[in-house]
Structure 1
């Protein structure tokens, strides 16, 4: 299950106080991999199902095209998703709102998998503020997402952002240190293009930022991914074969019910 995401850890995340997560990196090739998202935005929503491969294999993931996928919530809404090709299953009429708990049930290749996720209340991404600093004699940039954390402790955030059309970068925030306050943790923008998948940030580039309010289990999943690439620093990264999933029966991947707030910014 490598390269599902390109994830970059910021210098600020490397010094955070999140709980360390122990990971088992045994070969999990042949396991079901599920990527499922439900948001407060209009559907359709999608569930992607394929199989993992060993770290030593090429990134060719066999798709699972004959699964039974059912999505429901705690109000009685339920829908069986349609397979639209390439292992992607899609809703037709399902609607999602904050505060509800969503359940995903999948029957595939003789096994049953279930997962639940509660969609948090939305937090608005109000603005983005640019800053810069020197690294090895070169100018690097950060963007500070402007949002106010609610007073209740336990809010979790996932940021995905990209420079122009580069691959997305991911960072996970919690409110353990900044509960109820204006956010003070910036997003570190790429300062090199050596990996061939991101590009060095420069004046005139457009940065697209998406802030998700996620539940604790999804935060744990992405925190584990970030921990795996902790030693690589910005620009490096691998995806572990089995970060702690919220899906039962040994499946890899995650199911996330989350809210979405988006902004873009042009580097000055």
Structure 2
């Protein structure tokens, strides 16, 4: 039965991410990757230029980035132009942090900066020149705490597919609060699920307040050269507790990407983010937890 379901993976609609019982199907669709910091190039009519904001703040101690660009014509082959000379700040209800533009359009915190669970963060942007009729933009996001992963495990299914499949599972006590998660996978310390359309996001409807004992969060298909695992490879699972708004945003972006014909389709419909004054994009905050394991011999 499981093997039959596995073979039907390409018929699964992207919106079924909401159903935990169909997690294997979803993750088998999400196993090719390019870049976690993937820029979402949104191209519109020439007559209407809008600000595009990509920013995130996690509990990792690191330089966090806010990237500012503008929309371009659908047929413009050039990369979206960066927005330079803006004043970008983060406010946590008490202190204001100024970000530094380190290269055109990239605004960074200091490398020792980190988000604090339980705080509500406001991103404020003041442009040197108006875009779309506005000079000031803002967004808010609450940083929810995440339950630490106990461990992760791996199981090989030799009868799945032509060469078998590795099943990656996590073990964690999920709190009774309503939470939304993004799972990212690393192979040998390099991010494997990089592009937004390959992320796995889920709510906790089916495991709220209980111990998740071996919940599947990823698959590695051994008939795909990019997913082949060898004994001794390190696999890391990162679980991010994201906001409901960001969860819905990711699902909508994934639906737009999966439904677009790259050769004959028109520009994708705009997905509403949390940036004010009609800007495109999202400012997200999240606590994260990671656990690693070593790929065993089959």
* TM-score above 0.5: yes
Cα distance, 1:212 vs structure 2: 0.9
Task: Name the counterpart of 2:44.
Answer: 28
Cα distance, 1:216 vs structure 2: 1.2
Task: Name the counterpart of 1:137.
Answer: 162
Q: Residue 128 of structure 1 aligns to a residue in which SS?
A: strand
Cα distance, 1:231 vs structure 2: 6.8
The correspondence of residues 147-162 of structure 1 with structure 2, limited to 5 A, is 147-152=172-177, 154-162=178-186
Task: Name the counterpart of 2:263.
Answer: none
Q: Say if 1:161 and 1:209, in contact at 8 Å, map to a contact too.
A: yes
Task: Name the counterpart of 2:246.
Answer: 218
Q: Say if 2:154 and 2:295, in contact at 8 Å, map to a contact too.
A: yes
Determine which of 116, 122, 138 is the counterpart of 1:114.
Answer: 138
- C-alpha distance in 2, partners of 1:140/1:40? 33
The correspondence of residues 191-210 of structure 1 with structure 2, limited to 5 A, is 191=221, 199-204=226-231, 205-210=233-238
- C-alpha distance in 2, partners of 1:38/1:158? 14
Determine which of 182, 203, 212 is the counterpart of 1:174.
Answer: 203
Higher-Rg structure is 2
Ranges in structure 2 where 5+ consecutive residues have no aligned partner: 1-9, 20-41, 261-266
Aligned length: 241
Structure 2 residue 277 is matched with structure 1 residue 249: yes
Q: Residue 152 of structure 2 aligns to a residue in which SS?
A: strand
TM-score (normalizing by structure 2): 0.69
Ranges in structure 1 where 5+ consecutive residues have no aligned partner: 1-8, 19-25, 233-238
- C-alpha distance in 2, partners of 1:53/1:177? 41
Structure 2 residue 214 is matched with structure 1 residue 187: no
1:77-126 C-alpha deviation (Å, 9 max, x unpaired)? 11221111132111237553110100001123412211000001221022
Q: Say if 1:28 and 1:242, in contact at 8 Å, map to a contact too.
A: no
Higher helix share: 2
Q: Say if 1:32 and 1:251, in contact at 8 Å, map to a contact too.
A: yes
- C-alpha distance in 2, partners of 1:230/1:37? 24
- C-alpha distance in 2, partners of 1:188/1:95? 28
Q: Residue 289 of structure 2 aligns to a residue in which SS?
A: strand
Q: Say if 2:142 and 2:243, in contact at 8 Å, map to a contact too.
A: yes
TM-score (normalizing by structure 1): 0.76
- C-alpha distance in 2, partners of 1:70/1:241? 29
